[in-house]
Structure 1
């Protein structure tokens, strides 16, 4: 996997951040861990996965045509 930084709203390497796997075209999100039991109870999270909260402001770093258009290339 070759990961490149796409963008972030905080300095000093803090959260949130958006990265891209240059080989697969997938986006990787660094955000705030959702750990509140009531919130997690509303979702069905498979074994081996986690949930992070990412402010909507981070999505401005995605390509204007969207991630789906990237995946088709």
Structure 2
């Protein structure tokens, strides 16, 4: 899998990053979630994981030709939002060796692959209530 860097939200030691892939998907790199109070609210099937990223990370979708990266709907793959302005994103664990070789992935971070269509749905105006749960 080939990745194209879209952007990152960095502070010293932290580097949530967004990539576009050549498989009509996005790779979201973020902090591993260890907090039991968050994990207990989720059903994470085998082969999937969750990462925490600033909601602003999605603004980098403009680098992939999107008019805006403003999240307007908090639906899957965003499973929860936190009081700190971050979101918990769920998806298949990224284990593609070629993709991982293109990234810097510290031990406290992980990455997931999510379909382009599911990420695009986050940017659409909501027609009704979103069923996203705050953490």
User: Smaller-chain TM-score range?
Assistant: 0.7 to 0.9
Whole-angstrom CA distance in 1 between matches of 2:16 and 2:27: 11
- Relative to structure 1, the CA distance from residue 57 to residue 65 in structure 2 (aligned partners, 3 Å threshold; closer, same or farther) is closer
Aligned to 1:7: 7
CA RMSD of aligned residues (A): 2.4
Q: Which residue of 2 is the match for residue 64 of structure 1?
A: 67
C-alpha displacement at 1:15, in angstroms?
A: 1.4
SS in 2 for 1:15: coil
* 1:30 corresponding residue in structure 2: 29
Distance in 2 between the 1:13 and 1:3 partners? 22
- SS of 1:35's equivalent in the other structure is coil
Misfit runs of 4+, over 4 Å: 11-14
Q: What TM-score do the two structures reach when normalised by structure 1?
A: 0.76
The structure with the largest helix share of the pair is 1
Give ranges in structure 1 of 5+ residues lacking alignment.
none
TM score, norm. by length of structure 2:
0.44
The aligned length equals: 68
How many Å apart are 1:65 and its aligned residue? 6.5
SS in structure 2 of the partner of residue 58 of structure 1: helix
Question: Which runs of 5 or more residues in structure 2 are unaligned?
Answer: 70-115, 121-135
